[in-house]
């Protein structure tokens, strides 16, 4: 029952056409059947909404008679059943025939906000043009994830690390923001070759705190293996253990849990600490 604005999705294409597609923009799925009277009544109302929100919300249909496993997996017990997906998961749903006003409110709740639109437009622009748009987006939604991370990236790249860190601290549960914050912290320890050389001399002379500084400086320029070796050595010293531990965890977050160095050094750090 495909229309110009609503297309059919099958069990075989659901993962791509709904789950993955919803990571770009919301997808509303109408679970229906040809024998269902309320489904036929709901269909033109969904079509009107699909036209109104074209380009911002996609609408698709799934024939439950042709998709029994999918219907069971999603616990479809009555139809019409409408589920909205965003970011790969269900974010809103309703069952049964609804009035047009209720359907409009359903779409309004899942459609991109003005802050979403500004952040999306900024994504296609260079840093100088993107920054004002991102700041406008954050004026509307101070914790907008995409705008926070995009603006923090611009600020960090030009050396405004304090403001970048302040922004990223708004998203403590966002893995990308946590990684970016660690990158900002490590970048604060960046030194030129001469500065790194001076730190090496201080470390050799017995300056224990300088070993942590050296580890951070090495990490800031991407010498992660040597950085972790220096920080691990600093973690063995009670006077620098906590600073070294914090720095190593920041390196781990930047590299990611699956990185070979993280798998190698995490247990070594644990052995030193415990």
Mean local confidence (pLDDT), 3-31: 91
CA count, 13 A, side-chain hemisphere, 113: 15
pLDDT score of 269: 95
Q: Which pLDDT band, with edges at 50, 70 and 90, does 192 fall under?
A: confident
**Running DSSP on this structure, what letter comes out for residue 130?**
H
Decide if domain 6-110 falls under CATH 3.40.30.10. Answer: yes
Percent of the chain exceeding pLDDT 90 equals 85
With contact defined as beta carbons under 8 Å apart, do 203 and 214 qualify? yes
- By annotation, the residues acting in catalysis are 36, 39
What sign has the CA pseudo-torsion 23, 24, 28, 32?
negative
Mean local confidence (pLDDT), 163-168: 96
- Which of 6, 1, 2 is closest to 47 using CA atoms? 6
- Using the predicted structure, report yes or no on whether residue 37 has a pLDDT greater than 80: yes
pLDDT score of 1: 52
How far is CA 23 from each of CA 87, 197, 202, 245, 262, rounded to the nearest angstrom? 4, 46, 50, 35, 29
pLDDT score of 148: 96
pLDDT score of 184: 93
**CATH 3.40.30.10 segments of the chain:** 6-110
**CATH 1.25.40.10 segments of the chain:** 193-273
pLDDT score of 122: 94
pLDDT score of 194: 85
Q: Which pLDDT band, with edges at 50, 70 and 90, does 8 fall under?
A: very high
Q: Locate all alpha helices (DSSP H) within the chain, ordered by sequence.
A: 14, 37-52, 68-73, 100-110, 114-123, 127-140, 145-157, 161-168, 175-187, 193-204, 208-220, 224-235, 241-255, 260-273
3-state secondary structure of 228: helix
Decide: pTM greater than 0.75: no
Distance of alpha carbon 9 from alpha carbon 218, whole angstroms = 51
Q: What is the pLDDT of residues 138-163, one digit of tens each?
A: 999 999 999 999 999 999 999 899 99
Looking at domain 193-273, what is its CATH homologous superfamily? Tetratricopeptide repeat domain (1.25.40.10)
Sorted by sequence, the CB contacts under 8 Å of residue 39 that are 6+ apart come out as 30, 32, 33, 79, 80
pLDDT score of 160: 93
Q: What is the pLDDT of residues 220-244, one digit of tens each?
A: 999 999 999 999 999 999 999 999 9
- Using the predicted structure, report yes or no on whether residue 3 has a pLDDT greater than 80: no
Q: Which pLDDT band, with edges at 50, 70 and 90, does 191 fall under?
A: confident
Q: Which CATH number fits domain 114-172: 2.50.20, 1.25.40, 1.10.10, 3.30.1890?
A: 1.25.40
């Amino acid at each position: 029952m495909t229309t110009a604005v609503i297309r059919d999705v099958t069990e075989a294409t659901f993962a791509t056409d709904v789950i993955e597609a919803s990571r770009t923009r919301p997808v509303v799925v109408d679970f229906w059947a040809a024998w269902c009277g309320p489904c036929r009544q709901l269909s033109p109302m969904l079509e009107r909404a699909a036209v109104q929100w074209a380009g911002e919300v996609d609408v698709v249909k799934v024939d439950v008679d042709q998709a029994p496993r999918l219907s069971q997996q999603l616990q479809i017990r009555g139809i019409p059943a409408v589920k909205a997906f965003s970011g790969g998961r269900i974010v809103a749903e309703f069952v049964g025939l609804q009035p047009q006003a209720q359907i409009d409110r359903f779409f309004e709740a899942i459609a991109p906000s003005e802050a979403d639109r500004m952040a999306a437009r900024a994504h296609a622009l260079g840093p100088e043009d993107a920054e004002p748009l991102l700041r406008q987006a954050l004026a509307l939604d101070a914790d907008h994830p995409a705008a926070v991370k995009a603006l923090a990236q611009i600020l960090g790249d030009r050396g405004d690390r304090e403001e970048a860190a302040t922004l990223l601290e708004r998203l403590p549960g966002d893995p990308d923001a946590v990684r970016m914050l660690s990158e900002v912290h490590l970048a604060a320890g960046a030194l030129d070759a001469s500065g790194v050389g001076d730190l090496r001399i201080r470390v050799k002379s017995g300056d224990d705190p300088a070993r942590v500084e050296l580890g951070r400086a090495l990490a800031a320029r991407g010498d992660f293996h040597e950085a972790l070796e220096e920080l691990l050595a600093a973690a063995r010293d009670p006077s620098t253990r906590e600073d070294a531990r914090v720095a190593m965890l920041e390196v781990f977050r930047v590299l990611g849990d699956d990185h070979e160095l993280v798998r190698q050094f995490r247990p070594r750090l644990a052995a030193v600490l415990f």
